[in-house]
Amino acid sequence: MVIWIILLAMTAAAVMAVLWPLSRHYAVSGQADPNTQFYREQIDEIERDRERGVLLPNEAEAAKAEAGRRLLRATGMEDVAVAVGEPALRRRRAASTLALSVLPILAIAIYGAYGSPHLLGQPPVMAARGPATPSDLATAISQIESHLAQNPQDGRGWEVIAPVYVRMGRMGDAVKAYEAALRHLGPDANRLANYGEAMVLAKDGLVSSEAQGIFEQAVKLDGTSPKARFYLARAAEQDGQIDKAKAGYAALLAGSPADAPWTAVVEEQLARLEGPQTVSRQDAEPQMGADDILRMVSGLASRLEAQGGSADEWARLMRSYAVLGQRDKAADAAQRARQALAQDDAGLKTIDMMARELKLTDAQP
Amino acid sequence: MLVEAGHFALALALGLSLIQFLVPLWGARTNDPVLMSVGPSTALAVLACLAFAFLALTVAYVTSDFSVLNVVENSHSAKPLIYKISGVWGNHEGSMLLWVLILALFGAVVALAKSSVPVRLQANTLAVQAAITIAFLLFILMTSNPFVRVVPAPVEGQDLNPLLQDLGLAIHPPLLYIGYVGFSISFAFACAALIDGRIDAVWARIVRPWTLGAWAFLTLGIAMGSYWAYYELGWGGWWFWDPVENASLMPWLAGTALLHSTVVMEKRDALKVWTILLAILTFSLSLLGTFLVRSGVLTSVHSFAVDPERGSFILGILTIFIGGSLALFAWRAPLLKQGGIFAPVSREGALVLNNLFIATACATVFIGTLYPLALEVLTGDKISVGAPFFNFTFLPLVIPLLMLLPFGQTLAWKRGNFLGTAQRLYAVFGVVIVATLVMLAFTAGGPVGAPLGIGLGAFLVLGSLNEIVTRSWSRGSPLSVTWRKARNLPRSAWGTALAHAGVGVTVIGIAATAWDLEGMDTLKIGDRISAGPYTVRLERVVPRQEANFREDVVTLRVFRNGNEIGMVDTMKRLYVTRGMPTTEAGIVTIGLSQIYASVGEVRPDGSIGLTLYYKPLVLLIWLGAVVMAAGGALSLTDRRLRIAAPAPARSIPVASVPAE
């Protein structure tokens, strides 16, 4: 209620600001005409300058003559009439009507169209968590972090936050979180595989012997764990055992459904290994270099371009570009994906969610 | 509640602006003082409304009211207070609100200037100014509303773009906006003069402080932005000919030309039509700058959120104001009375030359900035026009202009004497030539541009000084008389000399960049890297956690020729909420020179990529801009009436001095 009174008072004040000058009896003659005033002052100034010695007498005369000529010309130009009589009164009334009508109507219309008047009466709704948007991610993280600081034995909490760390690129934190989760919840194939993956990512793609041990443990618990098997194959490749790696990738492909989300990546790896030149010993870097990643991404991109693919694959391509820092390409990929998946509502939703997650604002449809 | 009231105030301001546009214009046409007096009071009311709206938004930021979408998107409760406040204009919506607030503020100042501005001119000016306010208020309300609410409110915000969390950037936009918007007042006065069909020295006297003030602020704003880019982006450059920079350079150049042509108009009642045109062009370029930066045509830190609707809206505003004012110009300008006549060799002539050069330089920047955009629209080809283009087009225009500057400054009004002018400058000229030759000899083998450029800068500085000296000193007069005479010189003369000397200082700073040295390497703890006589040693790399970012602090020990002169930190930051990395350059200032260290990547094994620059005299670039602005401010304080003392024609015949 108070707010409506305030808005009303504001409107009234605004209307008054217009009506007040209209209601005054205008005293017009009190003020000297600024036009002639200017040249008079200029002539006085010339006189002062001459006395101070800034101007030579003959210069002063010339300047004075010029100012005098202009003064003559300016005299009588500003002839503001005193507004009296019927027409002036009518004009005032029209202006008052304009102010009284335009101001409240326009203000209320505009505010009604763009404002949030429905919020006026209600107490502010704060702290109610909306759907998890990226904006809330930071909040969620800080909440979980403070919760975990107080209850470090909450393994489930660690398990929740670990993948978030991975996505934010805080790999060291992710490794620690998975460690804690394993400690409190015990080993499990999936958990172990994720832990190993975080370790690999923390070392820029290098599968260390420690990580390899973790993956082997995971495979022991669940022979089908695709993630663990993938990284074991990668480990073999990094050790130079190309054939073993190929066999590992091929087995993984054979054992997984055709539409599994990892198929493309594994195929990519396999194709790379079976490529025309087998990697020579010296070239086989222990790390997956930036070039490899770039090649993988461009391979995926050209495949999707040529043959199309699932929404998940497009989303992965977008994420890869974003991870590589090529945001413009990520945005481009989003556009192409939308074209390719135009008939697929669920797929479009996936792309939109990925775009939002990557904050590709310029790629909104 | 306050937020909603602020939103409503914005809507009220729109209604008031509409009245401020219609009623005074009507009053001026019917010559009715009562209707015209509605202008000032509504202008004040608009200011009150917008100030309230701005205050409401600021309060929302300071109290972290996350029920406001704009606050959610650009603030964070852990952010330091100063950046909560600067966050208000660190985003598209808020910065547009600041834009109209300054516009209303200036309108109110015009409204309060009762005694010095003729009533009809004031009424028309306020009407034109209200039209600009209407356009921008509509833009804000319809496409960029800062008061949009979110229900339910999120608990935490998304933080301000970390590049903008910087003291320099907290003050850069207001400075720049005061400049842009100040030109809008010159524009409003120009349109008012066209509507009224008359223009004279009084007009020039009223407009000059606006142009001068706007110009000084724009100078500072551009310098600030340039210095920010220098220390924040970590590339060690100070000007990139980036379209965003050019967007502010163009109004500055046009404003500089306007400033000089207004002087001619105030003193000699000449160049009227040209001055009006310049006032229109200057503001048009300010609008164009706003369009380029805000519409998302260019991607940069400034295009906070890209939205085609906004782009087309600003384009509409642009078309209406530029097209409308130029149409008005074409229609009314032929009716304006021509004034003072002058000889080609005279101060006026020199200022015309100045205007020609600056306008052409501005045109080259215009082409270099817009041509790639136009080409992309028409053919889809992306080309980038960079430093080489501007070096080949802009510099050849500016260098002769600067070389002629001291001569123009020395010429007399109405009819000058080139020989006499040259005589007054020959001592300066000689000193500069000798000094340049000596410098060339000492730096033989180095870049030739540096000594030549420094010579040019010195010529500008000494030429400005010379102007003061020759005006106050005559052979044989004692020092006390000279001092008294110098003090008696109008402040505007000092201001002119100071501003021109500032140009010289900047030129020296720019020329000295040819002597920059750099070194680049990957360092481990204890490793060294050199640039010129300076060497730094990597001492340690320490991670640090701050309220809203994490950083790796790289500490370097600095040596000159083997002697230690201090330590410097340079940082690589990660702003956690946005996951955005930034670099903070480590800068050691030695006199006017700087050593500039910038971290590349921090490797897992603790080694870092480091670039070290030695930049002699680099501070002069920005110092010169500050001196220029100070000259403008000094000139601004001089509210005396300006008189052009014409040298009277010697052989009197009246016919040879055409009567006006």
Residue B209: name the closest of B641, B643, B639 by CA: B639
Q: What is the mean pLDDT of chain B?
A: 86
Inter-chain touch B153–A126, beta carbons under 8 Å = yes
pLDDT in tens, B10-49: 999 999 999 999 999 999 888 888 888 899 999 999 999 9
Domain boundaries, chain A: 289-365
Find the range with the poorest average confidence among A244-248, B94-98, B602-606.
B602-606
For residue A271, give how far its alpha carbon lies from the nearest alpha carbon of chain B (Å). 31
Question: What confidence score (pLDDT) does residue A29 get?
Answer: 46
Residue B216 in this model has a pLDDT that exceeds 50: yes
Residue B645 in this model has a pLDDT that exceeds 60: no
pLDDT in tens, A320-351: 777 666 777 888 888 888 888 877 778 888 88
Question: What confidence score (pLDDT) does residue A349 get?
Answer: 82
For residue B316, give how far its alpha carbon lies from the nearest alpha carbon of chain A (Å). 20
Q: Tokens in use for B258?
A: 């306007």
Nearest to A107 among B8, B33, B645 (CB): B8
Residue B201 in this model has a pLDDT that exceeds 60: yes
Inter-chain touch B156–A61, beta carbons under 8 Å = no
Place of tokens 């000297």: A32
What b/e sequence results for B14-38 when a residue is b if at least 16 CB atoms lie within 10 Å of its CB, and e otherwise?
A: bbbbbbbbbbbbbbbeeebbbbbbb
pLDDT-derived band at B65, boundaries 50, 70, 90: confident
Inter-chain touch B579–A168, beta carbons under 8 Å = yes
> What single DSSP character describes residue A145?
H
What b/e sequence results for A203-241 when a residue is b if at least 16 CB atoms lie within 10 Å of its CB, and e otherwise?
A: bebbbbeebbebbebbbeeeeebbbbbbbbbbbbbbeee
pLDDT in tens, B114-152: 777 888 899 999 999 999 999 999 999 988 899 988 877
- B65 chain-A contacts, CB cut-off 8 A: 124
Place of tokens 């403070």: A146
Instruction: Pick the residue from chain B with its C-alpha nearest to A5.
Output: B5
Distance from C-alpha of B59 to C-alpha of B196, rounded to nearest angstrom: 43
- B159 chain-A contacts, CB cut-off 8 A: 138
Task: Please report the number of interchain residue pairs, chain A to chain B, with beta-carbon separation below 8 angstroms.
Answer: 242
Inter-chain touch B604–A361, beta carbons under 8 Å = no
Beta-bridge partner residues of B530: B535
Nearest to A139 among B34, B155, B201 (CB): B155
Higher pLDDT, A117 or B411: B411
**What values do phi and psi take at B610, rounded to 5?**
-135, 140
Residues of chain B numbered 294-333 and touching chain A (CB < 8 Å): 296, 299, 305-306
Beta-bridge partner residues of B568: B556
- A6 chain-B contacts, CB cut-off 8 A: 1, 5
Inter-chain touch A127–B155, beta carbons under 8 Å = yes
Residue B507 in this model has a pLDDT that exceeds 90: yes
- A59 chain-B contacts, CB cut-off 8 A: 645-648
Mutation target to probe the A interface, by most A beta carbons within 10 A, among B29, B32, B42, B266 is B32
For residue A40, give how far its alpha carbon lies from the nearest alpha carbon of chain B (Å). 10
ipTM of the complex: 0.79
Nearest to B32 among A74, A91, A130 (CB): A91
Nearest to B118 among A34, A56, A83 (CB): A34
Residue B602 sits at the chain A interface (C-beta within 8 Å): no
pLDDT in tens, B531-558: 888 999 998 888 887 777 888 888 999 9
- A114 chain-B contacts, CB cut-off 8 A: 7, 11, 141-142, 145
CB B121 within 8 A of CB B203: yes
Instruction: Pick the residue from chain A with its C-alpha nearest to B143.
Output: A114
Residue A138: C-alpha distances to residues A164, B151, B456, B628 (Å) = 10, 19, 55, 46
Inter-chain touch A142–B156, beta carbons under 8 Å = yes
Residue B326: name the closest of B278, B374, B287 by CA: B278
Place of tokens 């006297």: B205
The residue length of chain B stands at: 660
Residue A12 sits at the chain B interface (C-beta within 8 Å): no
Place of tokens 């505007």: B492
SS3 at position A165: helix
Question: What confidence score (pLDDT) does residue B659 get?
Answer: 35
Q: Count other Cβ atoms within 10 Å, centred on residue B275.
A: 28
Residue A131 in this model has a pLDDT that exceeds 60: no
pLDDT in tens, B326-359: 999 999 888 877 766 778 888 888 999 999 999 9
Inter-chain touch A111–B7, beta carbons under 8 Å = yes
Residue B67: name the closest of A141, A131, A127 by CA: A127
Higher pLDDT, A138 or B471: B471
Report strand pairing: B608-615 vs B563-575. Answer: unpaired
Q: Tokens in use for B248?
A: 């502010």
Distance from C-alpha of B482 to C-alpha of B31, rounded to nearest angstrom: 52
Distance from C-alpha of B236 to C-alpha of B222, rounded to nearest angstrom: 17
Higher pLDDT, B189 or B296: B189
Mutation target to probe the B interface, by most B beta carbons within 10 A, among A31, A36, A135, A360 is A135
Q: For a pLDDT cut of 70, what percent of chain B falls above it? A: 94
Residue B412 sits at the chain A interface (C-beta within 8 Å): no
Residue B573 sits at the chain A interface (C-beta within 8 Å): no
Higher pLDDT, A129 or A76: A76
Residue A327 sits at the chain B interface (C-beta within 8 Å): no
Mutation target to probe the A interface, by most A beta carbons within 10 A, among B91, B140, B156, B601 is B156
pLDDT-derived band at B295, boundaries 50, 70, 90: low
Residues of chain A numbered 102-141 and touching chain B (CB < 8 Å): 102-104, 106-108, 110-111, 114-117, 119-120, 124-130, 133-136, 138-139
Residue B151 sits at the chain A interface (C-beta within 8 Å): yes
Report strand pairing: B586-590 vs B593-602. Answer: antiparallel
Distance from C-alpha of B535 to C-alpha of B519, rounded to nearest angstrom: 10
Find the range with the poorest average confidence among A354-358, B465-469, B531-535.
A354-358
Nearest to A125 among B19, B153, B641 (CB): B153
Residue B197: C-alpha distances to residues A39, A79, B336, B512 (Å) = 20, 15, 6, 49
Q: Tokens in use for B444?
A: 């033989």
Residue A290 in this model has a pLDDT that exceeds 90: no
Find the range with the poorest average confidence among A118-127, B337-346, B419-428.
A118-127
Question: What confidence score (pLDDT) does residue A137 get?
Answer: 66
DSSP assignments along B410-436, one per residue = HSPSSS--HHHHHHHHHHHHHHHHHHH
Question: What confidence score (pLDDT) does residue B109 get?
Answer: 93
Instruction: Pick the residue from chain A with its C-alpha nearest to B204.
Output: A38
Residue A286 in this model has a pLDDT that exceeds 70: no
Residue A227 in this model has a pLDDT that exceeds 70: yes
Q: For a pLDDT cut of 70, what percent of chain A falls above it? A: 79
For residue A77, give how far its alpha carbon lies from the nearest alpha carbon of chain B (Å). 10
Residue A62 sits at the chain B interface (C-beta within 8 Å): yes
Residue B302 in this model has a pLDDT that exceeds 80: no
Question: What confidence score (pLDDT) does residue B575 get?
Answer: 78
Place of tokens 């060294």: B528
Nearest to B640 among A45, A59, A77 (CB): A45
- B299 chain-A contacts, CB cut-off 8 A: 362
pLDDT in tens, A176-186: 888 888 888 88
Residue A70 sits at the chain B interface (C-beta within 8 Å): yes
Residue A140 in this model has a pLDDT that exceeds 80: no
Question: What confidence score (pLDDT) does residue A132 get?
Answer: 43
Inter-chain touch A129–B42, beta carbons under 8 Å = no
Residue B68 in this model has a pLDDT that exceeds 80: yes
